C-alpha cells in the first residue's frame, strides 16, 4: 500500500444511534475503494468492523473499529463507533481522534438518543460534523421531519446538500445541489445514472441550492463579495465555502444514503475527498503543557496511542495517530510516560479484522502496530530528543457498579488478569479492589456493559465468576466530645502487661483552636498540648493526635503504640466496621509500670479507650454523596424529578439546553446502584447522566439504625 501525504488523508468517525447503519456504510466505503471484493452484512456476521465474537452474538458493535479505504488518490481512515450508550468509550475515542464526524441519522426514527449523545461529543471536542441521512428506502422514512428536528436540536445551520426524490420503498434517486444533477440507481445500487434535474424538481432544487450557496458564502468574506456581485457561486467556490463552514462548525451539511443498498456511497466519498479537511487543515493539537503540534511530516516523530485490541493469533494490537513526523518499520521511539524504549517492528493499515503492511506512515495518518512491551492507551511515543506528551482521552465517569468474585479460588488470579485485559480494550471499565469492602468492584456504563464483560469471562476466557451486590463505602465519625479511660492489665507468670490511658476525643474541624478545657459529668479537665501529630488518612479526612501528658505518667516512647491502637480502630470503626475519620484525640493522663509496661499494653489500652469514647461521642455513620447531572427530555422532566426525590436526592438547580432539561442534584451512592436502568426506562432511553464523588454526609437516623443492626447480625453469623 502506498504512503499517503498528509494533505491526501481524511480521518472520519462514523457516529450515530445503534441501527443507524454505520457498519454497513463502512463496508460500502471499503468495497467502493476496492479494499474488499464483496460487501459483508451484519446478518451474515461478515462485516469488517463487527468481527469480534461478542459482536456476532449481539449483532451490533461493541468496540470501535479502525478501517480505511482509498478514493481518487486519497486515503480515508474510518473509525466506526458503537452506537449503544453502554459502549460510549468507543465513540469518545473515535470522535476525539478523527478530524470530522459523520453523524448517521435513521430517517425512519428522526433524532435518536445515540445521535444526540454523539452530537454532543463532537461539540465537546470541537469537531466538524456532516450529517448523513440514511435508511431512505424504508416505508416509515421522513427526510423532511428528520432535518427539521436536526435544525431544532442540533443547529439552525444544518444545511441540505442532497435530498431524496422518492423516499420510501421505491427510493432510488437523489438531487445533489453542488453538482446540480440527479443521481438515479438501479435496484442493486450499482453505478448511478447522472442526469439533469427533472422539471418537476427544478423549483425545489433551485431554492435549496440558493440556500446552500448563501450558507457557503457566509463563511468567507471574499466569497460573500463574489456572491453579491454574481448572485451565485461556482461549484469550486461552493466547495471552498463549505469546507470553511465545516471547519469552523458554522455549517453542518446533509448528504443522503441508503446504505443497505449501497446507494449514495460513491458521491459521499467524493464529498469527503473534496469538501472535508485534511489533518493539516485542522487546528493544531495541544500537548499537556499547551505546546501546539501541527501534523508536519518533516517534524519530530511523535504518535499517540488511542486504542488497544487483543487479536487472535496476533496478540495485543495498538492503534495510533501519527501526530508529527514520519515513522518507518524498525524505528526506535521512547514512551514519554515511562521513558521505556519501544521498537516499531511492523506498521499496519487496518480494516477491522484484516491488516495491510505499510513501510511507513506520515503525520495525520492512522496506523497500528504490535509487540510493544510497555505501551498502552493514552501513551505518547517520541523520537529521542522530542518530549511531546498528548492529553489523555477523557472518558465519561462510570454510572454502574457491581462486585465480582471467582467461584473457584484457583481462578482468582486468572480473573484479575482477564479483567485487566478487558479494561485495556475498553477504558470505560474501571477496576477497583476495595480493601475496606473486601470486594473487587467493576465500574461501567450500564447493566448491559457489565453483562458484556461477564460474557467474555464465560465464553472467551472460560472463568466462572459471579456478580454480587457491591457494598457501600460508609465512614464513621463523631459529633461531640467524650472522655474514656482504660487499664490493660495482664499477669500470667513472668513479665506481665500493664498500660493505662485516659483520653478525650472530639470532632476534627479545619481551623479549630487547639484543645483547652472540657467538662464531663460535672468535672472539668484541662489539657496542655505538648506534641501534635496530624495524620492524613488514606481514605479521606484526618486523625489529629495530641500528647497532653504532664509529669511523665506515660513515657513519650509509648505514644506511637497508642497511635497504632487508634489506627486499628479507625480502620475498623465501632459501628459498622467502616473507616472512621475526622477525629481529634487527646491523651492527657494514664499510668505505666516500670516492669510490665510495653508497647503492646499501650496499644491495647489506647484501642479500648478509643472504642469506649467513640460510642459516647454521638457517633454518626457517613455515606458517600455524588454530584449528579441529568440531561432529560422536557416531557420526562416530572417523572425524573419524582424518581430522584424517592432516591433521597437534593435538587440543586435546573436549566435548559436545546429541548432538554438539565437537573443538578446531590444523591447518595446507595441510591444510584441501578439508576442507569431506571432512568432509561423512565425516559425511553433519551435521558443521560454524569456523576462524580462530592462528599460524605450523615445518613438519616433510621438508616443508621438499620446499618448497625445489619453489621451486628453479620458479626454474629461470622462468630
* 521, three cell numbers: 459529668
Q: Which domain holds residue 670?
A: 621-702
| 37 belongs to a structural domain | yes
| 597 belongs to a structural domain | yes
- Furthest-apart CA atoms within the chain: distance in Å: 114
Q: Is the pLDDT of residue 313 over 80?
A: no
Check whether residue 275 and residue 291 sit in a common domain. Answer: no
Instruction: Give 268's contacts (C-beta < 8 A, 6+ positions apart).
Output: 25, 29, 132, 255, 257
Reported as a single tens digit per residue, the pLDDT across 331-371 is 999 999 999 999 999 999 999 989 999 999 999 999 999 98
Band (pLDDT 50/70/90 cuts) for residue 719 is low
pLDDT at 230: 82
Residue where one domain finishes, among candidates 588, 612, 636: 612
pLDDT at 232: 83
Residue with cell 488511542: 306
| 95 belongs to a structural domain | yes
| 714 belongs to a structural domain | no
**Average pLDDT estimate for 48-55:** 92
Reported as a single tens digit per residue, the pLDDT across 515-553 is 999 999 999 999 999 999 999 999 999 999 999 999 899
Check whether residue 577 and residue 521 sit in a common domain. Answer: yes
Instruction: Give 64's contacts (C-beta < 8 A, 6+ positions apart).
Output: 79, 80, 81, 82, 90, 91, 93, 94, 307
Could you tell me the strand order of the sheet in which 181-184 lies?
Answer: 162-164, 173-176, 181-184, 193-196
Band (pLDDT 50/70/90 cuts) for residue 226 is confident
Band (pLDDT 50/70/90 cuts) for residue 493 is low
| 187 belongs to a structural domain | yes
- The helices-and-strands tally (H runs, E runs) of the chain is 16, 40
Q: What is the CATH number of the domain that holds 465?
A: 3.30.70.870
Residue where one domain finishes, among candidates 471, 493, 515: 471
Reported as a single tens digit per residue, the pLDDT across 617-641 is 999 999 999 999 998 988 899 999 9
Check whether residue 554 and residue 658 sit in a common domain. Answer: no
CA 180-184-185 angle, 5° bins: 145
pLDDT at 189: 75
HSE-CB at 688 with a 13 A cutoff on CA atoms is 19
* 579, three cell numbers: 473507616
Reported as a single tens digit per residue, the pLDDT across 451-479 is 999 999 999 999 999 999 999 999 999 99
Check: CB of residue 503 under 8 Å from CB of residue 485: yes
Check whether residue 153 and residue 266 sit in a common domain. Answer: yes
DSSP letters, 75-99, are EEEEEE---SGGGHHHHHHHHHHSS
Q: Tally the domains of the chain.
A: 5
Check whether residue 496 and residue 456 sit in a common domain. Answer: no
pTM: 0.87
pLDDT at 256: 97
| 392 belongs to a structural domain | no
Q: Give the rounded percent of residues in the chain with a pLDDT score beyond 70.
A: 99
Residue where one domain finishes, among candidates 281, 297, 312: 281
- φ and ψ of 316, to 5 deg: -80, 120
| 711 belongs to a structural domain | no
User: Can you state the angle between helices 599-616 and 559-570, rounded to 10 degrees?
Assistant: 50
Check: CB of residue 592 under 8 Å from CB of residue 598: no
Nearest-angstrom CA–CA distance, 692 and 321: 30
For residue 69, give the nearest of 100, 41, 36, 96 by alpha carbon: 36
**Average pLDDT estimate for 315-334:** 95
Check whether residue 641 and residue 596 sit in a common domain. Answer: no
Reported as a single tens digit per residue, the pLDDT across 95-151 is 999 999 999 999 999 999 899 999 999 999 999 999 999 999 999 999 999 999 999
For residue 441, give the nearest of 400, 482, 486 by alpha carbon: 400
| 644 belongs to a structural domain | yes
Check whether residue 524 and residue 425 sit in a common domain. Answer: no
Q: What is the CATH number of the domain that holds 524?
A: 3.30.230.10
Q: What is the CATH number of the domain that holds 626?
A: 3.30.70.240
Q: What is the CATH number of the domain that holds 123?
A: 3.40.50.300
Band (pLDDT 50/70/90 cuts) for residue 660 is confident
Check whether residue 484 and residue 434 sit in a common domain. Answer: no
Band (pLDDT 50/70/90 cuts) for residue 237 is confident
* 5, three cell numbers: 501525504
Rg (CA), the chain: 32
Reported as a single tens digit per residue, the pLDDT across 599-616 is 999 999 999 999 999 999
Q: Which of 340 and 222 is assigned the larger pLDDT?
A: 340
Going from the C-alpha of 20 to that of each of 38, 257, 688, the distances in angstroms are: 21, 11, 19
pLDDT at 665: 96
Mean pLDDT of the chain: 93
Reported as a single tens digit per residue, the pLDDT across 548-588 is 999 899 999 999 999 999 999 999 998 999 999 999 999 99
Check whether residue 670 and residue 639 sit in a common domain. Answer: yes
Check whether residue 328 and residue 214 sit in a common domain. Answer: no
Check whether residue 336 and residue 414 sit in a common domain. Answer: no
Band (pLDDT 50/70/90 cuts) for residue 190 is confident
pLDDT at 238: 84
Check whether residue 445 and residue 524 sit in a common domain. Answer: no
Residue with cell 466506526: 80
Amino acid at each position: 500500500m502506498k504512503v499517503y501525504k498528509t494533505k491526501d488523508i481524511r480521518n472520519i468517525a462514523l457516529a450515530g444511534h445503534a441501527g443507524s447503519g454505520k457498519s454497513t456504510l463502512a463496508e460500502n466505503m471499503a468495497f467502493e475503494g476496492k479494499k474488499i471484493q464483496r460487501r459483508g452484512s451484519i446478518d451474515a456476521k461478515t462485516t469488517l468492523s463487527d468481527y469480534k465474537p461478542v459482536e456476532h452474538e449481539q449483532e451490533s458493535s461493541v468496540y470501535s473499529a479502525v478501517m480505511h479505504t482509498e478514493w481518487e488518490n486519497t486515503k480515508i481512515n474510518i473509525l466506526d463507533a458503537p452506537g449503544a450508550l453502554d459502549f460510549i468509550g468507543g465513540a469518545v475515542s473515535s470522535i476525539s481522534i478523527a478530524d470530522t464526524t459523520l453523524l448517521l441519522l435513521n430517517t425512519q426514527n428522526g433524532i435518536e438518543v445515540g445521535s444526540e449523545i454523539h452530537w454532543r461529543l463532537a461539540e465537546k471536542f470541537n469537531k466538524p460534523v456532516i450529517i448523513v441521512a440514511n435508511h431512505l428506502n424504508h416505508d416509515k422514512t421522513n427526510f423532511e421531519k428528520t432535518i427539521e428536528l436536526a435544525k431544532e436540536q442540533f443547529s439552525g445551520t444544518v444545511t441540505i446538500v442532497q435530498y431524496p426524490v422518492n423516499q420510501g420503498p421505491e427510493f432510488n434517486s437523489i438531487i445533489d445541489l453542488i453538482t446540480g444533477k440527479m443521481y438515479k440507481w438501479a435496484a442493486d445500487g450499482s453505478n448511478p445514472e447522472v442526469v439533469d434535474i427533472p422539471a418537476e424538481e427544478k423549483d425545489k432544487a433551485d431554492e435549496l441550492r440558493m440556500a446552500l450557496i448563501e450558507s457557503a458564502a457566509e463563511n468567507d468574506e471574499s466569497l460573500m463579495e463574489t456572491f453579491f456581485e454574481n448572485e451565485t457561486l461556482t461549484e469550486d467556490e461552493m466547495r471552498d465555502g463549505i469546507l470553511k463552514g465545516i471547519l469552523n462548525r458554522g455549517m453542518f451539511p446533509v448528504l443522503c444514503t441508503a446504505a443497505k443498498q449501497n446507494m449514495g456511497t460513491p458521491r459521499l466519498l467524493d464529498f469527503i475527498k473534496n469538501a472535508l479537511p485534511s489533518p493539516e487543515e485542522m487546528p493544531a493539537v495541544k500537548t499537556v503543557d499547551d505546546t501546539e503540534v501541527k501534523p508536519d511530516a518533516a517534524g519530530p516523530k511523535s504518535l499517540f496511542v488511542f486504542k488497544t485490541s487483543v487479536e487472535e493469533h496476533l496478540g495485543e494490537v495498538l492503534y495510533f495517530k501519527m501526530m508529527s513526523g514520519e515513522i518507518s518499520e524498525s524505528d526506535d521511539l521512547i514512551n514519554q510516560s515511562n521513558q521505556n524504549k519501544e521498537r516499531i517492528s511492523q506498521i499496519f493499515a487496518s480494516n477491522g479484522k484484516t491488516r495491510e503492511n505499510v513501510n511507513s506512515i506520515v503525520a495525520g495518518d492512522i496506523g497500528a502496530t504490535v509487540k510493544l512491551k510497555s505501551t498502552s492507551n493514552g501513551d505518547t511515543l517520541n523520537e529521542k530528543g522530542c518530549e511531546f506528551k498528548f492529553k489523555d482521552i477523557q472518558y465519561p465517569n462510570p454510572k454502574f457498579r457491581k462486585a465480582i468474585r471467582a467461584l473457584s479460588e484457583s481462578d482468582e488470579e486468572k480473573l484479575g488478569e482477564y479483567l485487566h485485559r478487558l479494561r485495556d480494550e475498553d477504558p470505560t471499565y474501571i477496576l477497583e479492589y476495595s480493601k475496606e469492602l473486601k470486594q473487587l468492584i467493576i465500574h461501567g456504563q450500564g447493566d448491559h456493559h457489565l453483562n458484556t464483560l461477564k460474557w467474555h469471562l464465560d465464553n472467551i476466557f472460560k472463568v466462572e465468576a459471579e456478580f454480587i451486590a457491591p457494598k457501600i463505602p460508609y465512614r464513621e465519625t463523631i459529633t461531640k466530645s467524650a472522655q474514656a479511660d482504660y487499664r490493660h492489665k495482664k499477669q500470667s507468670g513472668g513479665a506481665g502487661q500493664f498500660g493505662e490511658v485516659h483520653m478525650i476525643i472530639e470532632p476534627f474541624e479545619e481551623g479549630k483552636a487547639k484543645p483547652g478545657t472540657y467538662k464531663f459529668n460535672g468535672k472539668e479537665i484541662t489539657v496542655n498540648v505538648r506534641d501534635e501529630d496530624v495524620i492524613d488518612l488514606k481514605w479521606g479526612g484526618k486523625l489529629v493526635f495530641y500528647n497532653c501528658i504532664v509529669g511523665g505518667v506515660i513515657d513519650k516512647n509509648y505514644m506511637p503504640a497508642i497511635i497504632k491502637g487508634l489506627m486499628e480502630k479507625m480502620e475498623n470503626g465501632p459501628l459498622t466496621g467502616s473507616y472512621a475519620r475526622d477525629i481529634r484525640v487527646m491523651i492527657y493522663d494514664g499510668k505505666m509500670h516500670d516492669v510490665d509496661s510495653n508497647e503492646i499494653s499501650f496499644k491495647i489500652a489506647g484501642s479500648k479507650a478509643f472504642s469506649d469514647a467513640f460510642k459516647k461521642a454521638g457517633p454518626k455513620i457517613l455515606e458517600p454523596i455524588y454530584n449528579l447531572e441529568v440531561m432529560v427530555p422536557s416531557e420526562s422532566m416530572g417523572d425524573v424529578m419524582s424518581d430522584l426525590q424517592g432516591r433521597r436526592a437534593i435538587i440543586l438547580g435546573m436549566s435548559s439546553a436545546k429541548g432538554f432539561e438539565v437537573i443538578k442534584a446531590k444523591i447518595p451512592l446507595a441510591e444510584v446502584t441501578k439508576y442507569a436502568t431506571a432512568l432509561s426506562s423512565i425516559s425511553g432511553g433519551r435521558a443521560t447522566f454524569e456523576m462524580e464523588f462530592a462528599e460524605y454526609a450523615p445518613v438519616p437516623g433510621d438508616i443508621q439504625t438499620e446499618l448497625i443492626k445489619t453489621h451486628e447480625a453479620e458479626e454474629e453469623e461470622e462468630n
